[in-house]
Chain A
Amino acid sequence: EAQVTQNPRYLITVTGKKLTVTCSQNMNHEYMSWYRQDPGLGLRQIYYSMNVEVTDKGDVPEGYKVSRKEKRNFPLILESPSPNQTSLYFCASSPKTGGPGPLHFGNGTRLTVT
């Protein structure tokens, strides 16, 4: 089944404790992206990647890192999480034919930082 898999679904952590949210897709998509969704603010792009070893900042990259060592994986790293990073996070992928097209989303990761 074609899918984007994020883990974990729920995560509660404390300020400053490094964490990684994994994202994997099995559709051979070039484009992958991370979003956070907050009430009243909608979906905001954190980082995106057009292909392996190519990553770019989105609109809200501060406090996050990503890597794209393989086509299928695009982990999101929070080196020192803070309470303002409490949010619902989505990973998404898309084929890149003439620019990113329709996005396929993972199920989301609900992160709470205390």
Chain B
Amino acid sequence: RKEVEQDPGPFNVPEGATVAFNCTYSNSASQSFFWYRQDCRKEPKLLMSVYSSGNEDGRFTAQLNRASQYISLLIRDSKLSDSATYLCVVNRGDDKIIFGKGTRLHILP
């Protein structure tokens, strides 16, 4: 089983729709969790950290379920500018940071 697993997509979604990404991780000792966004040929940029209580930043909501070892990201009212690859990232607890392979999102006008 891969350490951090994501659906590679691509997700082709009309503008204004709600999109949900899921991610699972295999190491139960993992300590911290993040979602990054990466535009084509650019560096990844932090979108948001993920907390057990769930957290929201504008149109973006992240959730963590430690029991199921599952992380999610919800984007509401999607915009054309949300088109990118979304990376699930896990600090494994031994100072190693593991990246999922990313889910590509295309927002369609």
Binding site for B on A (CB under 8 A): 31, 33, 35, 40-45, 48, 50, 56, 58, 88, 90, 98-108
Contact = CB atoms under 8 A, between A and B. Distances in A.
A108 B98 CA distance: 18
Contact of B46 (A40, A48, A103, A107): A103
B45 A58 contact: no
Interface stretch (B17-25, B52-60, B63-71, B88-96): B88-96
B42 A99 contact: no
Given A43-B44, A108-B42, A108-B43, A103 B97 contact: yes
Interface residues of B, number: 23
Contacts of B31: 98-99
A58 B95 CA distance: 10
A99 B95 contact: yes
| SS of A interface (majority) | strand
A45 B44 contact: no
5 contacts: A31-B95, A43-B99, A98-B31, A101-B49, A108-B41
A42 B32 contact: no
A77 B10 CA distance: 35
B49 A102 contact: yes
Nearest to B46: A102
Looking at A41, A48, A102, the one whose CB has the most chain B CB atoms below 10 A away is A102
B62 to A, nearest CB: 13
B91 A100 contact: yes
Given A48-B95, A90-B44, 15 more contacts: A33-B97, A35-B99, A43-B44, A50-B95, A90-B43, A99-B31, A99-B93, A99-B95, A100-B91, A100-B95, A102-B34, A103-B44, A103-B89, A104-B46, A105-B43
A45 B97 contact: yes
A41 B99 CA distance: 10
